Chain A
Amino acid sequence: MPIHEKSLIRPENLKTHDKLVLDGIDVSGHWSTFIETRVVSDYNEALEEEISALPGGEYIHRCWQCGSCTNSCTVHAINPDFNPRFWIYLIRMGMESELLRDKDIIWQCVSCNKCTYACPRDVVPEGVMKATAHWLERKGHTPKSPSTHFDEVFTEQVIATGKIEESRTIRRFFKRTNQGLMQSWMVEMVKRMLRHLPIGLLSRMGLATFIAPRTSNWSSAASAIQEYIDEQHDKQDKALSLSELIDVAQKDAAA
């Protein structure tokens, strides 16, 4: 497969005039195609540093733009706009507004790690995708993605009980993202499960569990984990200048 290059000329910036005469010469039609000047003036010099401060983004500075990540990418194969190499370029250049054009798809990385496998510089592009998606959310550019909601529901349950009980995670995720559980394909799936299964076994498989599995003597591990997560969150807020922003806002409100 070739390395997919991203064109920096956007279709909306191409201007063609049906009738145009310049210095007495007729240049109508495609002869008169011009590219509208595009000025990038809002470089965010801290962008790379901010993304490096989030888990997964640590090695973005190693990238030498070979494009192996995009070339091997599972999501790129079904959506050509999904382009890790290009986003890493934009982040390292500080081109924030350009990056924001793709803000709604970056979270769709499926973490298959084909990019990490292919990368000759150990950038861990999969981690960079996660860090970038989190950065967009933490900075308020996008709402929390369904994927982040799922991660949070899952992690909350692990901290609370030490284990996951899948049906509960699924129910909580649907509730948090305001989706109905009775989607036609879900109903069909359970219908097919019931074909050969007695209901008692279904409950053993976790579909109707009343007693959730849990790791015993878990409470001290749970509080240690929560304490660490909170601590990291504060550190990241500082790196993203978010705590500074809150400080200023609080002082402003007090005055």
Chain B
Amino acid sequence: MTAKKEKYKKVAYYPGCALEGTGHAYNRSTKEVGKALGLDLVEVKNWNCCGAMEVKNVDPKIQTYLSSRVMSVAANEMDMDVVMAPCNGCYHNLKKAEYDLKNDSESAKVVDRLSKKAGHKTYETGQVETIHALDWIRETIGEDGLKERVKNSLSGIKIANYYGCMYTRPRHIFPEKDAGPGSESTSKPHFMDDLLAAAGAENVDFPLKTACCGGAHTLSDSDTSTKLVLNILKTAKLAGADVIATECPTCHSGLEMHQIRAEKNFGEKVEIKILYFTQLLGMALGLKARKVGVHENISDSIGFLKERGLG
């Protein structure tokens, strides 16, 4: 625990493409929370796309290469040993690349060949550890540390914690999960629940924590995505939540987009706010709603937060 506490204080920050676009509010709130907690984020130099699901579908080994380049830059050009990715897609892909390079010699051969042609050092497994923004805050500050720092408690806010698919599945790329006390669970993840509870929020019993929002087909098969999102929104509402907390830009924008699409195309309106967990933590730490980008969200929660003395 203490080793990680020190190790994660200064990490290579890999925002990824979504955080420069639709997930801008997540980028902003992650950086602000880091600043407020005295943690050091050094952005990965000249980073590239992790490959996402789309490149993996075209050729999985190209996705492995793309992710490996990001880790190679962090390790060999910046001398960092931890990469922190707040986006579930990036986090998942870097983990998957680490697994593939360790376990599939063919992948390692392809990555070596492409790295040499591209003119950078080949990433070697074990050079960096990839973590999620949840691990980062949990290990460095922890629940107790957070409790001490809370200025505006989130008390009275009922939250459904939504983790999505890529944070826990498939199990084999996350060897540190399901590893006994203190580790994250792949079937019932709780790191976000724990942090928000420490900030005073009330977590509702939400059975769809790791359900799929249909993000892969958000535009190519929109009706399927809308049905899946509608199921998540309605279940959260039935569970008594005011807010769905997210920790992935694709999930977040998927929920926001299809909440509107369900209303416009299916005539089904579900009133529930959608906020990044970093936005909620930031406001609990005393940051203004604007500072953590709440006005950038499509889901309008400004009035709701003001009523509760936040923002």
Footprint of B on A, CB under 8 Å? 55-56, 74-75, 78, 108, 110-114, 116-117, 124, 127, 130, 145-152, 154-155, 158, 162-167, 170, 173-174, 177, 184-185, 188-189, 192-193, 195-197, 201, 204-206, 213, 215-218, 220-221, 223-225, 227-229, 232
The answer to whether A116 and B219 touch across the interface, beta carbons within 8 angstroms, is no
**Interface status of B273 (Cβ within 8 A of chain A):** no
Tally of B interface residues using CB under 8 Å: 62
Asked whether, in the complex, the Cβ of B49 is within 8 Å of the Cβ of A163, the reply is yes
With A130-B57, A163-B49 already in contact, the answer to whether A185 and B264 are too (CB < 8 A) is yes
Task: Using A117-B170, A224-B118, A225-B114 as known contacts, say yes or no to A216 and B224 having CB atoms under 8 A apart.
Answer: no
- Specify which chain B residues have a CB less than 8 angstroms from the CB of A152 in the assembled complex: 58
Best-buried of A111, A197, A218, A229 by chain B (most CB within 10 Å)? A111
Interface residue B243 (Cβ < 8 Å from any Cβ of A): no
Give residues of chain B (157-175) contacting chain A, Cβ–Cβ below 8 Å.
165-166, 168-171
30 A-B pairs (CB sep. < 8 Å): A78-B228, A110-B217, A110-B225, A112-B216, A114-B169, A146-B217, A146-B219, A147-B217, A151-B55, A152-B58, A158-B49, A163-B17, A164-B18, A173-B219, A177-B220, A185-B264, A188-B264, A189-B256, A189-B260, A196-B295, A196-B296, A197-B296, A205-B21, A206-B24, A213-B17, A213-B20, A224-B114, A224-B117, A229-B59, A232-B59
**Whole-angstrom distance between the alpha carbons of A217 and B295 in the complex?**
36
Interface residue B307 (Cβ < 8 Å from any Cβ of A): no
For the complex of A and B, the 4 pairs showing the least CB-CB separation, nearest first, are A112-B212, A221-B118, A224-B117, A154-B54
B216 touches A111 (CB 8 A): yes
Asked if A74 and B212 sit within 8 Å, CB to CB, the answer is yes
Instruction: Point out the residue from A162, A167, A174, A228 that lies within 8 Å of B48, measured CB to CB.
Output: A162
Determine which of B62, B119, B295 lies in contact with A225 in the assembled complex, contact meaning CB atoms within 8 Å: B62
Q: Which residues of A contact B186 (CB under 8 A)?
A: 117
**B55 A158 Cβ-Cβ under 8 A:** yes
Q: What is the minimal beta-carbon distance from A205 to any residue of chain B, in angstroms?
A: 5
Selected from A127, A147, A166, the residue in CB contact (under 8 A) with B21 is A166
**In whole angstroms, how far apart are the Cα atoms of A166 and B22 in the complex?**
8
Q: Which residues of A contact B24 (CB under 8 A)?
A: 204-206
Our pick among A56, A110, A164, A177 for the contact of B224 (Cβ within 8 Å) is A110
Query: Which residues from chain A contact B211 at a C-beta distance below 8 Å?
Result: 74, 112
Nearest residue in B to A149 (C-beta to C-beta)? B220
B10 to chain A, nearest CB (A): 24
Q: How far, in whole Å, are A204 and B20 apart by their CA atoms in the complex? A: 8
Residue of B nearest to A165 (CB): B21
Among B52, B65, B221, B228, point to the contact of A154 (Cβ < 8 A): B52
Residue of B with least CB distance to A236 = B59
Q: Does B82 contact A (CB under 8 A)?
A: no
In the bound complex, how far is the Cα of B256 from the Cα of A195, in angstroms?
15
Q: Is the CB of B46 within 8 A of A215?
A: yes
A110 contacts B58, C-beta separation under 8 Å: no
The 8 Å CB contact of A228, one of B61, B119, B225, B295, is B61
| Given known A158-B49, A185-B265, A195-B300, contact A108–B119 (CB-CB < 8 A) | no
CA distance in complex: A111, B24 (Å)? 25
In the complex where A166-B18, A195-B300, A220-B119 touch, is A108 in contact with B52 (Cβ < 8 A)?
A: no
Contact with A along B269-311 (1 / 0, CB 8 A): 0000000000000000000000000011010101000000000
Main secondary structure of the interface of B (DSSP, over half): helix
| Contacting residue for B51 out of A158, A177, A189, A224, CB 8 A | A158
The answer to whether B69 has its CB under 8 Å from any CB of chain A is yes
Chain A residues in 8 Å Cβ range of B54: 150-151, 154-155, 158
Please measure, in the bound complex, the distance between the C-alpha atom of A150 and the C-alpha atom of B221, giving whole angstroms.
11
B205-235 toward A: CB 8 Å interface, digit per residue (1/0)?
0000001101111011100110110000000
Contact A110 B264 (CB under 8 A): no
B237 proximity list for chain A (CB < 8 A): none
Smallest beta-carbon distance B279→chain A, Å: 14
Closest B residue by C-beta to A205:
B24
User: Cα distance A185–B264 when bound, in Å?
Assistant: 6
Q: How far is the CB of B208 from chain A (nearest CB, A)?
A: 11
Question: Residue B47 at the A interface, CB < 8 A?
Answer: yes
Q: Does B132 touch A at the CB level, under 8 Å?
A: no
B261 surroundings in chain A (CB, below 8 A) = 185
Please pick, from B215, B219, B296, the residue contacting A205 in the complex, using a CB distance under 8 A. B296
List of A residues within 8 angstroms of B51 by Cβ:
158
Question: By the criterion CB–CB under 8 Å, are A196 and B228 in contact?
Answer: no
Residues of B within 8 A of A220 (CB): 117-119
B46 near A217: Cβ-Cβ < 8 Å:
yes
